[in-house]
Amino acid sequence: MINILKNLFGLGTPTDYAQLVAEGATIIDVRSSGEYSGGHIKGSINVPLGELAQNLTKLKKDKPIITCCASGMRSASAKNILTSNGFTKVYNGGGWSGLQSKIGKQ
């Protein structure tokens, strides 16, 4: 139960997002296309949360995936959708601007 709570609230060992990106992780930005066009992480792909379930076949299950959005709420939902569909290497990166600073991309 404690591990479930730690995972749910992002507690425990911090994730090295820069290392995941260096290893080829895909960054999926689940904000609307309008939000995405206003600024995003270079190299990320935009799949709005409402369209994610219809686009699962376009994603590789054997590759790490980092989800992001504006604040972390939609990216948490996206992570749940992906893990519920058999993706095992999924990380909630939270808000895109904070994630950008963690991975060093401009």
| Residue pLDDT, tens place only, 1-51 | 555 555 555 566 789 999 999 999 999 999 999 999 999 999 999 999 999
Share of the chain above pLDDT 70, in %: 87
Domain with 33 in it: 12-103
Tell me, yes or no, whether 2 lies in a domain. Answer: no
Taking residues 59-88, report their average pLDDT. Answer: 96
Domain count, the chain: 1
Mean of the per-residue pLDDT values of the chain = 91
> Is residue 17 one of the residues assigned to a domain?
yes
Query: Is 21 within a domain?
Result: yes
CATH number of the domain at 89, please: 3.40.250.10
- Note whether residue 66 is domain-resident: yes
On whether residue 51 sits in a domain, the answer given is yes
Q: Do 90 and 79 contact (CB within 8 A), yes or no?
A: yes
pLDDT bracket for residue 52 (50, 70, 90): very high
Does residue 7 lie within any of the structural domains?
A: no
- In a domain, residue 41? The reply is yes
| pLDDT at site 13 | 77
Q: Which of 31, 49, 43, 62 is nearest to 103 (CA)?
A: 43
User: What percent of the chain is predicted at pLDDT more than 90?
Assistant: 83
pLDDT reading at 97 higher than 60? yes
What is the per-residue pLDDT for 80? 97
Classify residue 93: in a domain, yes or no. Answer: yes
Structure token pair of residue 102? 């963690």
